[in-house]
Every structure is written in structure tokens, then in C-alpha cells.
Amino acid sequence: MENSGTEVLRQGAEARVYKTEVSGNPAIAKQRFSKKYRHPDLDRKLTRGRLNQEARSLKRCLESGIRVPKVIRTDKDTATLYIEFIEGPTLKEWIFDNTDEDKEKELMSAVGKILYQMHSNSIIHGDLTTSNLIVDKQGEIVLIDFGLSQISAMVEDKAVDLYVLERAFISTHPESERLFAAVLQAYESQDPAATAATMRRLEDVRQRGRKRDMTG
């Protein structure tokens, strides 16, 4: 059973995330909000759909050998997903505090390899930022927050996933072009032939993004 003591970690438009305990072990609970403007039946269907999709994506990642939190259980009545608590700073925090260039290169390479592995298993994260990557106590990368994830083998979806992360690097970590470049290099090097179409589409997505920025 959950411990009544909780610590709110983050609250957004879609869900509240808090630290709690399940069977005496630290855990993360992510409770999705209902949308009052939607019909109650539709709201329940959509909320449960997103809850189940997040759990499925996490389980698919684990089955594919990708480091993500383990799913403890889902509570459909309260629209809450309980997952393993991963101790460690976010990659965002780690980058701000880091002074070790060799470790930086190692972590960026690890991110690229993980994203390739994820995409090669048709998993689209949907919200890739440096806040959704954890550097655990072993110094390894763990992907979190699959609330906007989907299962897709489409090149467009993979390219947009990478573009979202690139924009996150640009907006959060000024003058960090080398970081995302290292991520892409590792991603592409896993299988240049398999990633070629995604890399080409990424450039298309970038051009569309620049046009939007110019026109507002």
C-alpha cells in the first residue's frame, strides 16, 4: 500500500507527480487530471488511454533493454501510475554542474544510443528534454516521463522526437551545440543505413521550424 506521506515534485497541465512509497520502497506516482471541459465519459476514456499508453511504453522499453523506471502498478480509478523512483540529478542539472568533458561526451553518446534503441523498437517519447533524462547513481542515463509517448515506426515521428530534444538543448543550454551534435553522432553511428531517412527528415523538420520562427 502507498504511504500517506507524499512530496510533490512537479505539477503541470496534465498531471501531478509526487514521491511516495509503495510497500516500503520509494516510488513515483503520476496522477493525471480530469479535464472539466470534456464530457465525463470521453474524459475517462482519454485519461485511461494515456495512462495505459505510458505504462505500455515503459514496459516495452524495459523489454527492449532500455533504462527506464519499472512500472509498479496502475490505478485506473484515480488515473495514477506508480513507477520506480530513480535517484539522481536530471541531465539538465548535471550539465549545469559538470566540469568533466570526458564524462560529458560519454553521457551524450549514451543518450544517442538509447534514443536509437528506443526508435528502432518503434517507441516515440514525445517530450524529449534534458529534464526527462536522469543520471542515476551509477552514472548511467535513464529515460523518464513517457506521458506523451506513442508506438510508431514513422520516420517523421522519430525526426520530430529528435528535433524536440534539439530545441530543448538550444533553449535550456546556450552554446551547447556540441552536446546535441554528440547525441546525433552516436544515434546515427548505431546504424547509418537505418537512420539515414530519419536524419534527412530531421533537416526537413528543422527547416519547417525555422520558417515558423520567421513568420511567427
Tell me if 163 sits within 8 A of 209, measured CB to CB: yes
Q: Is 166 helix (H, G, I), strand (E, B) or coil?
A: helix
Taken in order 93, 170, 184, 128, is the CA torsion positive or negative? positive
215 φ, ψ (degrees, to nearest 5): -90, -15
Q: Please give the DSSP secondary-structure letter assigned to residue 131.
A: G
| Three cell numbers written together for 199 | 536524419
Q: Which residues are catalytic?
A: 127
What is the rounded radius of gyration, in angstroms, for the C-alpha atoms of the chain?
Answer: 18
